[in-house]
Amino acid sequence: MMKFAKKKTTETKIYKEIWKVLIVDDEKEVHNITKSVLKDFVFEHKKLDFLSAYNGKEAIEILQKHTDIAVVFLDVVMETDDAGLIVAQKIREELNNTKIRIILRTGQPGLAPEKDVILNYDINDYKEKTELSSIKLFSSLVSAIRSYRDLSIIEQNKIGLKKIISASRTIFQIHSLNLFVEGVLAQLVSILNLNHEPGNIKASDAFFAILDNDKNENKFKLLATAGKFKDNDNFNVITPEALSLLDEAFISKKSFFKDDVYVGFFSTGKNNDLFLYIEGCRELSQLDKDFIGIFSNDILVAYENIHLHNEIIQTQKELIARLGSVVENRSQEVANHVNRVAKISYFLAINYGLDQEEAKRLEMASPMHDIGKVAIPDNILLKPARLTDEEYEIIKTHSEIGYNILECGKREILQTASIIAYEHHEKWDGSGYPRGLKGEQIHIYGRITAIADVFDALTYKRVYKEAWPFQKAFEFIKEQRGKHFDPKLVDIFLEDSDTIKSICNLE
């Protein structure tokens, strides 16, 4: 009994996958004989699963339902003299199935001459029923399944490579590190499940980690998780088994498959190597493993691009903030004014409905709103007393000066800054400067920065005024709804006073 049980377990393991074969013939005995002759057929550890149809209509219905049939034994003469030929034609032209191998069988070769059939129909073999001995039937089937297998591999390669190209394009478009690592996991799981039924592969149990060895601490930090790792209550805990494999990859500086796991090693050359860890790889085919290798080659390049992009953005942001601070320091005003204006502008932009990218660009550009003041004489800019009408007209020119400084820039951030510099002193009712724009004629960037700039200027001391209490400045913004400021933006501003207080460090 024990020996029988062991044999059964082994057989189940070997034959858990099958080749589907469709028999199309109007004679039931042909079905029985074919199944009997081929009942012990095994090719590449897969047995046969037979499907039966007794006329052309049934055959097409089965083929529409089962798109993974490898071979069809197709009788020519059934309900009509050319029923089988019509089925063969529909398989190729209507069902667009080019992989299935068609073995045409006929008991009446005179009705379908072999030469004409081979020339006019996309079939793979032609046999008279009288010549189909068990050996010839076996040989024909092996040849047909080999062809089907090879075509399937080619198709899987094409689909897989298209998926890899699409996945690579996706991750190359991402500029956020967090979104990048999450995207890599999602794309890999998608690629690996191309040729598997849902649930047959556990490769969604994965994580992306970074090793920060700047301080020789060699600590792994999880960046993104999937599957069982995502469900882990303690996000920063890596199992001892996984940690051992990560150490092995770090020492060898190589990616590898080991037992059930794939570990991808990506050296950035900047003391923070990346590691991709995927469980559930034992059942992966060599094709799946090749897909992982191909896709992994793009991961490091994409990661480096993200760092380069972020470094450029941070450099631009720092330069703009410093230029904005130069103006503020020159006028002996609070240097942090530009930073607070930037944060308030971002808050208003997001709540107004601008997307994340545009809101961040506005946040980065808004510190340049008063860049034109570099051209205003000190005796006017630093005057502690009230300005004369003539002096006021001079200081108003800073908007157009700032615009002229920035508008020649080709980068989006400089174009955004030029709009802000030009329009942040325009007023909703049209009484502002330099052009007297009204309502939505004023760009949303100018309308947003106007509230942020005025509020912060009111709540902090300047050379010409003392700081206003928060509530007084808050009431002023409310009073200027529909006059100085866009009513919708004022409503957003007033709805969350706690956030505004926090940004401006006010009690």
Q: What is the pLDDT of residue 464?
A: 72
Cα–Cα distance, 201 to 333 (Å, whole number) = 62
Identify the pLDDT of residue 241. 85
pLDDT of residue 59: 94
Asked whether 365 and 445 are in contact (CB, 8 A), the reply is: yes
Domain boundaries along the sequence of the chain: 17-154, 174-303, 331-504
Q: What is the pLDDT of residue 149?
A: 86
Give the tokens for residue 134. 């068990």
Transcribe 375-397 into DSSP letters. Answer: GS-HHHHT--SPPPHHHHHHHHT
Q: Comparing 17-154 with 331-504, is the CATH topology the same? A: no
- Averaged pLDDT, groups of 10, the chain, 507 residues long: 40 63 93 91 90 94 93 90 89 90 77 61 77 80 90 69 56 56 65 47 61 59 71 61 87 86 77 77 73 71 67 65 58 65 94 92 88 86 86 92 84 88 96 95 96 92 82 94 96 91 75
- Answer yes or no: are the C-beta atoms of 251 and 273 closer than 8 Å: no
CA dist 425 and 436 (Å) reads 9
Domain 17-154 carries which CATH code? 3.40.50.2300
**Cα within 13 Å of Cα(244), Cβ side:** 5
Q: In CATH, which of 1.10.3470, 3.30.70, 3.50.30, 3.30.450 is domain 174-303?
A: 3.30.450
* Residue of 16, 373, 465, 488 marked catalytic: 373
What whole-number distance in Å separates Cα of residue 36 and Cα of residue 28?
13
**How high is the pLDDT of residue 58?**
95
Say which CATH superfamily domain 331-504 falls into: Hypothetical protein af1432 (1.10.3210.10)
Encoding tokens for residue 322? Answer: 């410093």
Q: How far apart are CA 242 and CA 278, in angstroms?
A: 10
| pLDDT score recorded for residue 483 | 96
The C-alpha angle with vertex 138 and arms to 136 and 141, in degrees rounded to 5, equals: 105
Distance CA 367, CA 372 (A): 12
Q: How far is CA 279 from the centre of its chain?
A: 21
Q: Is 373 noted as a catalytic residue in this protein?
A: yes
Instruction: Measure Cα distances from 231 to 116, 185, 226, 399 in Å.
Output: 63, 15, 8, 54
Taking only Cα atoms into account, the Rg of the chain, rounded to an integer number of angstroms, comes to 36
Q: In what order do the strands lie in the sheet with 125-128?
A: 42-43, 46-53, 18-24, 69-75, 101-106, 125-128
